[in-house]
């Protein structure tokens, strides 16, 4: 069944090419399609297109479909082009002519827009919850290990003292920036496009304010053409937010891969979180973190993929937009799985508390010595040269006591302030 069927069939090859994997992807959107239909039906009832009796049986049948979806009993067979045609078929099969009325004053164009907007709102909320869980663990780990020093690197060269408190909480605070990006995407998605129909509105006196309220949108896309132009723009906004999260996770995963290596040996994980080699019995490979890094790097390409699909399209609906679902929906699930695995792993991280006993880290403290001389009255450039001369002669002896007190430093992590910032962001 096709909603645009005029009584003749398309070539099978064309059907396969144009539908693609839409049926599979639409199963993810099915719940939202039914919720949109319920709101639309109630609005049609207000318009007196559906009678009191008809609205009751339509909503009852839609709720039954909604329950079937929740129970995993909803399918979209090859005979149907998409979720919209399957839902309308079920209504018509059960209710006859009454079911045929559901498509009055709307198009598949605004149906899929509603589905995607509602779906993205829920997924953004879920991603933010997962980010908050990871954030809480990072803050807890920062507090737990705030006294344990860690080598800081610039240019991959030993540089200055850092700490596990700084390291863990740096990623916690970075996640706040990512939440800001997701909030922007949510704001864009939280606009009701229903009522734009095929992109140019309807001659029916529909009540778009009513469906906006029923569907829980903050506001609506007032201009019907602008509503249609949100297809692609909304997905791209979320893609940029997801890319920000993925960038943070990828960098963190890379740090972990380095820090787990024998050359660093800063952190370790239980054996069940590592993998072995088929020929090297000593290996404990960070496969989980390498895959998080790779998957998140792939997600960072998503905004540009969506841009290339949409950047030269005119206003109005184009079939190219169908391709967006195949990119954004799997990427959302991939990001959520990366957040889940990283959360599980970090809860089990084991920190090396004796890293700085290795003499190769003695030069971490050259800046500390320069600063001490300056505080004793030596000009900075002279102090720099004095310490540099000691290093060259092999005479530098580090004082490994670190006393950093300014905001955001080793001795003043501001964990409570960072937590407060996250709460405001959420």
Residues 6+ apart with CB under 8 A from 264: 258
Query: For residues 342 and 292, is the Cβ–Cβ distance under 8 A?
Result: yes
Query: For residues 329 and 112, is the Cβ–Cβ distance under 8 A?
Result: no
Distance CA(423)–CA(176), nearest Å, equals: 9
Distance CA(306)–CA(350), nearest Å, equals: 40
45 in helix, strand or coil?
helix
Catalytic residue among 40, 117, 133, 277: 277
Distance CA(125)–CA(366), nearest Å, equals: 46
Residue 107 catalytic? no
Secondary structure element (H or E) that encloses residue 306, with its range: helix 302-310
Nearest Cα neighbor of 126 from 426, 424, 326 is: 426
Task: Return the sign of the alpha-carbon dihedral for residues 424, 211, 106, 316.
Answer: negative
Distances (CA, A) of 193 to 86, 115, 224, 243: 21, 10, 7, 25
Please give the structure tokens belonging to residue 399: 């004082």
Distance CA(86)–CA(217), nearest Å, equals: 25
Residue 155 catalytic? yes
Catalytic residue among 9, 40, 45, 155: 155
Distance CA(320)–CA(308), nearest Å, equals: 11
Number of Cβ atoms within 10 Å of the Cβ of 104: 16
Distances (CA, A) of 62 to 36, 89, 401: 10, 12, 68
Half-sphere exposure of 121 (CA within 13 A, CB side): 17
Task: Return the sign of the alpha-carbon dihedral for residues 134, 345, 302, 15.
Answer: negative
Beta strands 219-220 and 191-192: pairing type?
A: parallel
Please give the structure tokens belonging to residue 204: 């029916």
Q: Which residues are catalytic?
A: 155, 277
């Amino acid at each position: 069944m096709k909603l645009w069927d005029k009584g003749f069939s398309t070539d099978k090859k064309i059907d396969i090419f144009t539908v693609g994997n839409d049926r599979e992807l639409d199963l993810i959107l099915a719940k939202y399609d039914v919720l949109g239909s319920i709101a639309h039906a109630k609005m049609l009832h207000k318009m007196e297109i559906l009678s009191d009796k008809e609205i009751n049986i339509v909503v009852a049948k839609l709720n039954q479909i909604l329950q079937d979806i929740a129970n995993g009993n909803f399918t979209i067979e090859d005979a149907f082009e998409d979720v919209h045609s399957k839902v309308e078929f079920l209504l018509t099969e059960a209710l006859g002519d009454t079911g045929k009325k559901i498509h009055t004053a709307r198009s598949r164009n605004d149906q899929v827009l509603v589905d995607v907007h509602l779906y993205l709102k829920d997924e953004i909320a879920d991603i933010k919850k997962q980010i908050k869980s990871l954030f809480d663990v990072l803050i807890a780990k920062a507090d737990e290990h705030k006294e344990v020093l860690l080598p800081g690197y610039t240019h991959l060269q030993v540089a200055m003292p850092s700490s596990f408190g700084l390291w863990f909480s740096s990623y916690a605070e970075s996640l706040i920036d990512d939440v800001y990006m997701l909030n922007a995407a949510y704001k864009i998605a939280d606009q009701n496009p229903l009522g734009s129909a095929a992109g140019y509105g309807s001659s029916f006196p529909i009540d778009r304010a009513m469906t906006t309220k029923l569907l829980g949108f903050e506001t609506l896309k007032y201009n019907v053409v602008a509503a249609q132009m949100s297809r692609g723009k909304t997905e791209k906004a979320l893609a940029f937010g997801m890319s920000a999260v993925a960038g943070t996770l990828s960098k963190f995963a890379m740090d972990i891969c380095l820090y787990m290596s024998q050359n660093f040996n800063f952190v370790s994980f239980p054996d069940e979180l590592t993998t072995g080699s088929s020929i090297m019995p000593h290996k404990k490979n960070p496969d989980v973190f390498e895959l998080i890094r790779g998957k998140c790097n792939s997600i960072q390409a998503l905004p540009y993929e969506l841009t290339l699909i949409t950047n030269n399209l005119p206003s109005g609906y184009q079939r190219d937009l169908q391709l967006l679902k195949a990119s954004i929906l799997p990427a959302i699930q991939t990001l959520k799985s990366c957040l889940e695995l990283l959360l599980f792993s970090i809860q089990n991280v084991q920190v090396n508390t004796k890293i700085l006993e290795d003499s190769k880290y003695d030069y971490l403290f050259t800046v500390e010595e320069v600063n001490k001389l300056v505080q004793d009255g030596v000009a900075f450039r002279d102090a720099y040269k004095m310490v540099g001369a000691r290093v060259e002669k092999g005479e530098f002896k580090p004082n490994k006591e670190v006393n950093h007190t300014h905001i955001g430093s080793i001795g003043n992590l501001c964990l409570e302030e960072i937590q407060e910032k996250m709460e405001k962001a959420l």
